[in-house]
Amino acid sequence: MGGLRAPILSPTGAGLFFERDGALSWADGLLVPPDGAGEPMADVLLIPGLVDAHVHLPQYRVRGRFQEALLPWLREHIWPEEARFGERAYREGVTSEFRDGLIAAGTTAALVYGAPSADTAHAVLRDLAPLCIRGGDVLMDRNSPEDLLRDTEDALETSRQHAEGYGERYVLTPRFAPTCSPRLMAGCGSILAVRDVGLQTHLAENLDEVAWVAELHPDRRSYTDVYAHFGLLGPRSVFGHCIHLDDQDLQQLADSGSWVAHCPTSNIALGSGRMPLERHLAAGVNVALATDVGAGPDLSMLDVMRSFLEVHEGAAEVSPGQALRLATLAGARAMGEGSQRGVLLPGRAADVVAVRIPGGVGRGESGEAALRRALFAFEGRYEEAIAGVWVAGERLR
């Protein structure tokens, strides 16, 4: 048994729950009805463990190396670093730092990209415990550096083996359409159709990328339609960015139940543009928040939440409560953990973060207002905002 006593702010199925005199209790890693006992914490707000719906493990050490656009950034910084990640000793060091960074940021679950080496799936799915992680090795078989290319059939066979070994935790990860042949994408679609695994990739992040896809697939109506053609859309698929889409694309994503990982800090860093959140939501597209490290400069989902509020102010109706929902429950649903995580309710995993509130939650102050204060008070130093992190009831920070 364990527990905490402090103000609580959590999304619920359809709304937002705030309790000033809150209490949480857990047993065997799961939240249970509170019994009033537990450690009291002052000047904090208890929220569900944060969930990152799109993050690159092998890019952790090169985060913040911004470029004027996506494709030059990949060539000059990312692909050389991902080649180094294939070396076991280097990979182990980065993975340990990455895990510690997630915990320090209050991220308790994440959808993670490995590198273009089959064994990086193990780094993602074994070596980041005890965090809740889903993900896989990156698949690329064309238009990439020679040392990162995968043989198409070998990549698909390895993916089948990983799907067998890891089950629903394994996520097919074709990097994006320009670096994946039609044969590779069709093979991913076939695996997705028969196995209970997920899929993650990138979609319409940058205008040069969109133009490149149009050149490679002149027979398809759009970038989104390329993925639809190969059977990659669906409720177990998460598409990063999705900035430059038309109404038909958005409707395809909505109708298929696909997810969009919205990465505002990354979009700013690479000059990709503002994702038109209002159009996505109006079309009924599922949206979750993500850091996209290494294009995103920091693993902090609090930083992403603040950026979300700033980026969309005046263009879409946004609030701290909405940001919290997209960084917790929506992210959990996107990665297939929606019935287990993302809200502070009995029966869910006891994944909890204590966020410092300067001066505590004020008398008469709402939970959303207190959260907004924290998001802006700790800008640039979000590790100081995290007072405690629990995963399945075990304190990690």
DSSP strand pairing (386-391 vs 352-356): antiparallel
pLDDT tier for residue 66 given thresholds of 50, 70 and 90: low
- Tell me, yes or no, whether 29 and 59 share the same domain: no
Predicted confidence (pLDDT) per residue in 355-384, tens digit: 999 999 999 999 999 999 999 999 999 999
Predicted confidence (pLDDT) per residue in 303-330, tens digit: 999 999 999 999 999 999 999 999 999 9
- Tell me, yes or no, whether 9 and 135 share the same domain: no
- Tell me, yes or no, whether 244 and 293 share the same domain: yes
How many distinct structural domains can be found in the chain? Answer: 2
Domain boundary among 284, 308, 334: 334
Q: At 311, phi and psi to the nearest 5? A: -65, -40
Residue range of the domain that includes 362: 2-48+342-395
Is 29:350 a contact under the CB 8 Å cutoff? yes
CATH assignment of the domain containing 6: 2.30.40.10
- Tell me, yes or no, whether 261 and 360 share the same domain: no
- Tell me, yes or no, whether 10 and 94 share the same domain: no
- Tell me, yes or no, whether 346 and 323 share the same domain: no
67, pLDDT greater than 70: no
- Tell me, yes or no, whether 377 and 322 share the same domain: no
What local confidence, expressed as pLDDT, does residue 223 receive? 98
Domain boundary among 293, 316, 334: 334
- Tell me, yes or no, whether 293 and 364 share the same domain: no
- Tell me, yes or no, whether 122 and 256 share the same domain: yes
- Tell me, yes or no, whether 104 and 172 share the same domain: yes
Spatial separation of the C-alpha atoms in residues 383 and 251, rounded to whole Å:
38
pLDDT tier for residue 28 given thresholds of 50, 70 and 90: very high
Residues 6+ apart with CB under 8 A from 226: 177, 185, 213, 217, 220
- Tell me, yes or no, whether 33 and 170 share the same domain: no
Domain boundary among 285, 303, 334: 334
CATH assignment of the domain containing 136: 3.20.20.140
- Tell me, yes or no, whether 356 and 266 share the same domain: no
Residues 6+ apart with CB under 8 A from 93: none
Mean pLDDT of the chain: 95
Q: At 198, phi and psi to the nearest 5? A: -105, 180
**Average pLDDT of span 81-108:** 95
Does 86 sit behind a cis peptide bond, omega within 30 degrees of 0 on the bond before it?
no
